[in-house]
């Protein structure tokens, strides 16, 4: 069954990089993109998502705030924070919110692992 995936990142390059990895690992996936939290929430209101990739540092709300809002509306979606902000305290806060943490630069193996794991 095709999966619905949302990539939320203000960097077009990061969105394209993630999209390429996803296309290789899940060629049948339907991938949407958003450059900020407001765009992401518009997608959340329109469709059910299986996976969401979030950057932390974005204009407007940060990725953790957006992730919590997505989690409240779609608790079954699997969320991952993909960020260059790899401070230990942030990683702990992200994980405490039930969001996976993946550091940048983006590594295909980490993305594939996240996509392949069953919901805990």
List the domains of the chain with CATH numbers. 4-53+73-116 (3.40.50.2300)
Cα angle 58, 74, 48; round to 5: 95
- Give me the percent of the chain exceeding a pLDDT of 70: 98
Mean pLDDT of 25-37: 96
Please report which confidence band the pLDDT of residue 2 belongs to, taking 50, 70 and 90 as the band edges. Answer: confident
pLDDT of residue 86 exceeding 80, the answer is no
- Per-residue pLDDT band for 118 (boundaries 50, 70, 90) equals low
Under the banding of pLDDT at 50, 70 and 90, the label for residue 33 is very high
Nearest to 55, CA basis, from 107, 101, 113, 110: 101
When pLDDT is cut at 50, 70 and 90, the band that residue 99 belongs to is very high
């Amino acid at each position: 069954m095709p999966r619905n995936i949302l990539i939320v990142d203000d960097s077009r390059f990061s969105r394209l990089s993630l999209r390429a990895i996803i296309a290789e690992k899940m060629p049948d996936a339907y991938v949407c993109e958003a450059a900020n939290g407001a765009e992401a929430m518009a997608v959340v209101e329109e469709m059910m998502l299986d996976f969401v990739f979030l950057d932390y540092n974005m204009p407007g709300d940060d990725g953790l705030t957006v992730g919590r809002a997505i989690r409240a509306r779609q608790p079954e979606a699997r969320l991952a924070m993909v960020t260059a902000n790899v401070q230990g305290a942030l990683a702990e806060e992200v994980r405490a919110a039930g969001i996976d943490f993946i550091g940048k630069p983006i590594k295909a193996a980490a993305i594939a692992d996240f996509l392949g794991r069953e919901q805990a």
